[in-house]
Amino acid sequence: MDIARTPSTPEGNPEMADAAQEPRQPAAIRREDYRPTAWLVPEVSLEFDLALQATRVTSTLTVARNAAADASPTIRLNGEGLEPMAVKVDGAMIDSWVMDDADLIVTLPGDAHSIEITTSINPAANTALMGLFASNGMLCTQCEAEGFRRITFFPDRPDVLSTYRVRMHGPKTDFPVLLSNGNLEEQGDDGDGTHWAQWHDPWPKPSYLFALVAGDLIANSDSFTTMSGREVALNIWVREGDESRTGHAMESLKKSMRWDEEVFGREYDLDLFNIVAVSDFNMGAMENKGLNVFNTKYVLADENTATDGDFDGVEGVIAHEYFHNWSGNRVTCRDWFQLSLKEGFTVLRDQLFSQDMGSAPVKRIEDVRVLRGAQFPEDSGPLAHPIRPDSFREISNFYTATIYNKGAEVIRMIRTMAGEEAFRAGSDLYFQRHDGQAVTCEDFVKAMEDGAGLDLSQFRLWYSQAGTPKVTVRLEHSGDTATLHLSQDVPATPGQPDKHPMPIPLKVTLFDPETGNRAAGHDGEQLVTLTKAQASLSFPGHVRRPVLSINRGFSAPIVIERDIAQEELVFLAAHDDDPFARYEALQDLVVRHLKDAADDRLDDGARKHGRAAIIEAIRSVMADDTLDDLMRGELFILPSETYLAEAMPVADPGRIHAERQALRAAIGAFLEDDFVALHTRASDVPYSLEAAARGARKVKTQALVYLAAGNPERAAGMAAAQYDAADNMTDRQGALMVLCGLSAVERTNKLIDFYNRYQGNPLVIDKWFALQASSMHPSALEHVKALADHPDFTMKNPNRVRSLYMAMAYNPHAFHAEDGEGYRMIGDVILALDPINPQTASRFVPPLGRWRRIEAGRSQLMREQLERIGKAPGLSRDTHEQVSRSLG
């Protein structure tokens, strides 16, 4: 989140310097320095007089000394950009308060007091979109991680749990809907054109979960009956005209509520659950207690404007934020070092939910692809950190794939080792033991240990060590015995040069290469846990050398290096009965070939032989009637250029791109008629959200991708025809995506049609920008430059900025242009965006931070951009930290 820290005491919390001033870069905050807060705040009363440019906030804090902390005569109330207009203690005005940088320090003589503070803020001027900000005439809050201090002075830390009563006043014409956390207690008119509403949240929560929304909104309303028979009112609030696109979100919410009851035993605990969709939002969504605030991207969806992936995204994010009601709200973090306590656990819960709602194998592959595309590079670069960091300077920079995605994988490993039933017992104990508390990752692990009956002593290393373990695998066969040799290495990362072996659960199976079945005498799938640096396991009863399938289901978030023949990979790609392992075999087959090709290790004969093996594997996928099209589509997808670069000690992005495209062209040309037939067959399936129809759309677009590489002219005609015939966004966007990479007249025609068709729909126009910025077109960078001058582009809306520039930054073909133009463009974006929205700006730094893994010429150009950014005056703390860490 968009917050910076400058500690002055172990308990103290810091402030952010104004972006226009030279920031005083903060010292590191260390986990070991944590101290309980000296003062508790059991109750908070907030009164808001709302206006876009001058909102008056009066906060009344009931405070009491914390018997579990060292006594202090003063209370530190964090602020950022605030000036106290009045301060009262126990009803009497005082002037003895002092300011320590941005924080308010008040001296308190007794053990319990009431503190009243009045401030005034300007939401319309808040371009950082943290605290209370304006979005198209609506007022909205975002308080995680430390945004509450931009609203009022408060001990803004997650271990201060309070009940909140909120009263809002405002002009009825400007803000006809007034929302906050909890349940609505009262509302009424003031008689002068203003009205008011009072909300009460009975559940103690940290300040980062506070929320307020005021604006002209309309609700899609429904209800849900909990497992104990209580009826909960459900509302999804949107701008008028958008309500017709909220049906999928509402169904996703109700499915989430039922699933959490059935799978985790968690029941909702308020009478009301509100969701608000906001068009200006830094993140995807926020789990504020009883009032979730969402980016519109994850609420609005119908078949004409949303792809199948968008529907999945809405369902998954709705579930994620709802599941936080227990894993994050009822049980929250003691401090921000424990962020993965709530995020990693909740990501796992939303992944399991999505698996149950759709195709479990496909969902698993998608999640692993995200992990490898975002977290593996993070783990091997200058920004590597454990899922429970030991220190940080800017908490906003630790909302990372490591905290979220690797955190989920670590807890999934506990589930794998325990089994589903024992894992449920552990989670039940965790919620029971810590309900209403602010706790640590260690508390979670201990509950899992006690509830599931596991010894997780060594497993705790997964929380403290950064880096992706590499497991080297070798299968030896002698006589009738197969011996599996395993070794692990956890690479050095910044601040952690030496690592200890970690427990790595590996699901393994042995196959008979002649029958294609599991080898005779082998007891099906086995779970093997590697706990040492090296280990060997024997499997007797194998007359023939078996074929090893390992890390099935991606049972551990590791890199596998296996000594396996090409023909065995082809075998596994065709015969493995674990969907992920089959996918992995095909990926490995391609990665091995492209690494050798990009490193000039293939002569013409070896190149031809490698391509033939891959084509044969693709052909087997195409012809396998046991596969559904959703899985078939996954198996068609080649490893990304980013993943290929990660597999190489030093990567040449230009060579990787050229070789990958050449392989795709060879596949497309050789199997051209097969792909045309597949496209024709899939085109006959009518639209629905059922798996068969979704799968048909998936393979249809994948067929076009290969045809575009193998026969661009034919593909352009087919893609244009698919675009014209489309009765849904998935088909239309898929066709336009293919056309964007081609130099064909159809490309221009359909881009113009798409814009004209959806002009005025921001989410779909975001797609229009992103498709061009992420395309394989040779002039992609020039297209991005032109789009930056488009009337619909703005640097003030995070969705629009990400749709253009983040799409380009993660398009290796454009970003790694040999002359460095892609790097210069992102450097310019960071410098232009940083004064407006530091949080969004800082997220553009990591692509440049990969410079050490790139060949020398490009590496130097990337480093030069980081140095240029680092020297800029007035750089925000968010961006400064990312740049300085990236430079090392």
Nearest to 8 by CA among 86, 118, 99: 99
Degrees (nearest 5) of the Cα angle 277, 343, 456?
A: 165
The secondary structure element, H or E, covering residue 679 is helix 672-683
Beta strand 103-107 pairing with 112-121: unpaired
**Dist. CA 756–CA 728, nearest whole Å:** 16
- Joined together, the tokens standing for residue 407 give 């955190």
Query: Going by C-beta distance under 8 Å and a sequence separation of 6 or more, which residues neighbour residue 20?
Result: 835, 874
Question: CA–CA separation, 595 vs 601, rounded Å?
Answer: 8
Within 10 A of 819 (CB to CB), how many other CB atoms are there?
A: 11
Kindly report the backbone phi and psi dihedral angles of residue 774, in degrees, each rounded to the nearest multiple of 5, phi listed first.
-100, 10
SS3 assignment for 574-621: HHCCCHHHHHHHHHHHHHHHHHHHHCCCCCHHHHHHHHHHHHHHHHHH
Measure the CA–CA gap between 21 and 3, rounded to whole angstroms: 16
Q: Starting from the edge strand earliest in sequence, which strands make up the sheet with 526-530, in order?
A: 526-530, 504-511, 547-550
- Residue 408 C-alpha from the chain's centroid: 11
Task: Give the span between the Cα atoms of 312 and 800, in whole angstroms.
Answer: 21
Radius of gyration of the chain (CA): 28
Q: Residue 619 has which token pair?
A: 């052909």
Integer Cα distance of 671 and 569 in angstroms: 20
* DSSP structure string for 245-268: G-HHHHHHHHHHHHHHHHHH----
Phi, psi (deg, nearest 5) at residue 626: -80, -15
Category of 675 on φ-ψ map: left (φ > 0), alpha (ψ -120 to 50) or beta: alpha
Contact status, residue 715 vs residue 738, Cβ threshold 8 Å: yes
| DSSP string across 680-725 | HHHHTSPP-SSHHHHHHHHHHHHHHHHHHHH-HHHHHHHHHHHHHH
- Residue 145: is the preceding peptide bond cis (ω within 30°)? yes
Angle at alpha carbon of residue 632, lines to 631 and 638, rounded to 5°: 100
State how far the Cα of 737 lies from the Cα of 735, in Å rounded to an integer.
Answer: 5
Cα dist from 238 to 106, 293, 297, whole Å: 41, 11, 12
Rounded Cα–Cα distance for residues 49 and 692 (Å): 53
Choosing from 321, 634, 659, 881, which is the catalytic residue? 321
Only one residue has tokens 């968009």, namely 2
Please name which of 118, 119, 120, 95 lies closest in space to residue 106, comparing C-alpha atoms.
95
Backbone φ and ψ for 543, nearest 5 degrees, come out as -65, -40
Tokens 């959806």: give the residue.
758
3-class SS of residue 541: coil
Contact 300, 238 (CB under 8 A): yes
456 closest CA partner among 441, 467, 466, 472:
441
Alpha-carbon distance 712 to 715, whole Å? Answer: 5
Copy the structure tokens of residue 59: 């906060």
CA distance 733 to 724: 11
321 in active site: yes
Contact 349/262 with Cβ under 8 angstroms?
A: no
Catalytic positions, please?
A: 321
